[in-house]
Amino acid sequence: MMRHIWLCAVLCLSGLYANGQFFSLKDNRKSVDIPFKFLRNLVIIQLNINNKGPYNFVLDTGVGLMIITDSSLADSINIAGARKIKLTGLGDDDEASEAIVTPALNVDIRGLVSNGVSAAILKTDIFNLSGYTGVPVHGLIGYDFFNSLAVKINFNDSILTVYPPGKAKLFKKSQRVPITIEDNKPYLQAYITMPDGSRVLNKLIVDLGAGHPVSLESSAKKYGDLRNKIPANLGIALNGPIFGYIGRIKEVEIGKYKLKDVIASFPDENYEQRTNIPRDGNIGAGILKKFNLLFDYSNNALYLKPNNNFKAPFEHDMSGIEYYLTGNDLSHMIVTRVAPDSPADEIGLLRGDEIVSINFKPIAKMTAGEIDNIFKTPGRSLLLEIFHDGKHERVVINLRRRI
């Protein structure tokens, strides 16, 4: 399946962050409701920039400075006084490491007013969030949004409710989990239990923009090897793909909540993220989506309340297919990687093949989320229509749990 989006690679931009960038509620309102879409474990909101849009932005607690990934916006939003920078420490000396830092923008989010919010525009959209989600995505917004507001995220009804700092209405029967805000990102403490029973307290970034449940870096060395694991492409950074492996851990414990048999990502040492803050990894949306959340940076608090998805088991792709969506309408499904010894590998699927339909249903009539869910059903057989070497073929793939 398509790799998890690993967006923390752009955090080197946090060094450019300027004080005084924030959002406030219009007309002294007590709260504002903002609808969002939740696509492939990413929270997406709409906003306008300099009276142009609407644009789709991923809401990401792992990002400091606002990031515009669609370089074409540099022309459409009419910015003046922008300056070019080189992103050092992540990537080779090429276009992928270049960005433009804008002056303050007029960022219009429903019911909110921006104050001095600037952005970095990447010269090359290497993350391809549009191809990942199946809808046009233009960038990411993080610390500016969360630091200046109390943000409630209700996954049951896809609504954000924002309040002035410290004035949020709490979920009933929610639990407060202490967080620290370091280098413009939230951290919490969680216990990780491995299959052998080892239980260690870990410091983890709360990363709403990471699709996986949990990623463990130095923890992999603490705990040793997993019995069952598969090599994986875990995401993308400014210098290319991030490789490692995926396996299951016995438990993740956050506050009073215990999540069992959790899928965990383990990046190779060479891809562990550079940071000045000692930490062990991050908690991603694969876990966070099981709660309704309230981020209150002003009080160093994250409130958790289990939602309808809390008891759903953690499942991983059972096909071995990684893909992206492309074309003018993002309706063409192109294979980017086939996992070795997977069901997709066994039927001869290759990188660059196009999957035209699944069980006679055209990809053009499916969302990326629907495709993901189909590929997470153990024991299911699917009829795929493939466009390969200039001709259409039909093959049967037999899904199976790989971890």
The one-digit pLDDT tens for each residue of the chain (403 residues) are 433 444 444 444 544 555 579 999 999 899 999 999 999 999 999 999 999 999 999 999 988 889 999 988 888 887 776 677 766 434 334 445 678 899 999 999 999 999 999 999 988 888 899 999 999 999 999 999 999 999 999 999 999 999 999 899 999 999 999 999 999 999 999 999 998 889 999 999 999 999 999 999 865 455 556 767 888 888 876 666 788 889 999 999 999 999 999 999 998 876 655 567 889 999 999 999 999 999 999 999 999 999 999 999 999 999 999 999 999 899 999 999 999 999 999 999 999 999 999 999 999 999 999 999 999 999 999 999 999 999 999 999 999 999 8
Instruction: Give me the pLDDT at residue 240, please.
Output: 67
Cβ neighbours of residue 361 closer than 8 Å, sequence gap 6 or more: none
Instruction: Give me the pLDDT at residue 10, please.
Output: 44
Q: Which residues of 15-28 are buried (b: 16+ CB within 10 A; e: fewer)?
A: eebeeebbbebeee
Alpha helical stretches, state H, 149-229:
218-223
Instruction: Give me the pLDDT at residue 87, please.
Output: 60
Please tell me the distance from the alpha carbon of residue 162 to that of residue 346, in angstroms, as a whole number.
49
Cβ atoms within 10 Å, residue 376: 17
Instruction: Give me the pLDDT at residue 225, please.
Output: 62
3-state percent helix, strand, coil for the chain, nearest multiple of 5: 15, 45, 40
Query: What residues pair up with 153 in beta bridges, in sequence order?
Result: 160, 293
Integer-rounded Cα radius of gyration of the chain: 21
Domains in the chain (CATH in brackets) are: 7-163 (2.40.70.10), 175-289+302-306 (2.40.70.10), 323-398 (2.30.42.10)
